[in-house]
Amino acid sequence: MSSGYEQIYESLIPKLSECDLLEVAERLDLSPQQDGTLAVSFLGREYAISSRGVNPTDGMPVNVNNRSVLAYYTLSKGVSEPALSYVPISYLAGPGIIFNTNIKWMTDPLGKTFNGDYVTFSKTMGRLGGVFNGKLKTDRYSWLLKALPKIPLQIIYNDGDDEFPCEVQIFFDKHASHFMEFECLAFLEGCLVRAMIMTAKTGDTAGWV
């Protein structure tokens, strides 16, 4: 029996079969391939998107939520360019969505994983395609990551001290909600958190779920 997450992905496949992939490629800056698939880089791995689904080209296992995020992105009707201005995901919650801006449970594991270890954090970001964006005040380091074409992120590493623990913050481009609904962006954030933790542990962006 399929899990709830697998059922979400499976429900998206029939919609992909109805997509004009060439139109999607032009609008979302994806790369059309000779076999009719679209190529996209996501969290340090290459994927092929077709009318039959989403698959990593390396043939290694992948979490089903990664497939869903890429399917939702492909199905997006959004037309926009990145604002290159970044906000917490809570700012992108639409009307009627109750979201406690003080809840940091999704990113809390990152602070524990990279506590006192900016070297591992920086290596992890590099493996996932991140680019160093400068040191901020009080031992804070900024990185930029193109999670998907049109959806850049800012990740800030805040080194801990005797008073405050290490914290890693994820900020979304202000226009990200033009391409994905809030719930899908939350899926994307979860995929990124998992990828950062597992890449730090294994030294690789693939081979784990």
In a domain, 182, yes or no: yes
pLDDT at 3: 83
Tens digit of each residue's pLDDT, the chain (209 residues): 468 999 999 999 999 999 999 999 999 999 999 999 999 999 999 999 999 999 999 999 999 999 999 999 999 999 999 999 999 998 998 655 555 554 577 899 999 999 999 999 999 999 999 999 999 877 799 999 999 999 999 999 998 777 788 999 999 999 999 999 999 999 999 999 999 999 999 999 999 98
Question: Domain residues for 114?
Answer: 86-202
* Token pair listed for 8: 């979400």
User: From start to end of the chain, where are the E strands?
Assistant: 31-32, 38-42, 45-50, 53-56, 86-88, 131-136, 140-148, 151-158, 167-173
pLDDT at 103: 55
Residues 41 and 124 in one domain: no
pLDDT at 209: 87
* Token pair listed for 36: 């009719």
pLDDT at 97: 52
pTM for the model stands at 0.93
| Other CB atoms within 10 A of residue 209 CB | 11
In a domain, 80, yes or no: no
C-alpha 168/C-alpha 188 separation (Å) is 16
Residues 56 and 92 in one domain: no
In a domain, 134, yes or no: yes
Residues 154 and 174 in one domain: yes
Final residue in a domain of this structure, among 75, 101, 122: 75
pLDDT at 99: 53
Residues 69 and 94 in one domain: no
